[in-house]
Amino acid sequence: MDSPCSDPWYGTNAIEMIHHLKVARDTAVKARSQAMQTLKAMIVSAPSALREQLDHLSGKMMLLRHLAALRPGPLTSTTASARTSLRAIARRWLALDVEVKAHDAHLEQLTGQLAPELVQAHSMGAGTAAEMLLLVGDNRERIHSEAALAKLCGVCPVPASSGKISRHRLNRGGN
């Protein structure tokens, strides 16, 4: 590893920046999932006429766009109130989806600049790289070997032998 003085990110609080974005992204993903669950529950309990209109739609995005474009009209019936609610929740889901994608782009940029070799590793995306960078923190020197990183990540082997059988399992005690 390079010395901290030769690292262009040294002293820029890049890990803290990644942490802020990761928290914002994770809460947006959770809210988006909750919005989708609420939409599904509301569709199941919606008036039958409205459910029949939605039955012909295939695909999540087509359904969301259709619901976001609903024009509920005056609130004089349960159909109108269901349309109003479905439209609001679908619009919320779409806005959260845009937010998650923006956070992903920022995380990809930061992790790519901070640890390009990590992001380019096989099956490693920006989100996983961000998690690993948060795990290690600003002090790269505290991880002195692959074994230390494996223990910190909770993937180091632990003996799980019994009698004559010799085997190992993963240590889930890490982060």
Angle at 62 between CA 60 and CA 68, to 5 degrees: 100
Q: Which of 39, 81, 41 has the alpha carbon at shortest distance from 61?
A: 39
Instruction: Identify the residue with better confidence: 26 or 166.
Output: 26
Q: Tell me, what's the pLDDT at 11?
A: 46
138 and 33 Cβ atoms separated by less than 8 Å: no
- Model pTM? 0.76
Q: Which of 172, 146, 145, 168 has the alpha carbon at shortest distance from 158?
A: 168
124 pLDDT band, cuts 50/70/90, is confident
Residues forming a β-bridge with 162:
165
- Per DSSP, the three-state class of 14 is helix
- Out of 55-59, 105-109, 112-116, 154-158, give the one with best mean pLDDT: 105-109
Alpha carbon distance 76, 133 (integer Å): 54
Instruction: Find all residues with CB under 8 Å of 60, minimum gap 6, and list them.
Output: 36
Phi then psi for 169, rounded to 5 degrees? -130, 170
pLDDT for 47-102, tens place per residue? 999 999 898 888 899 999 999 999 988 999 999 999 999 999 999 999 999 999 99
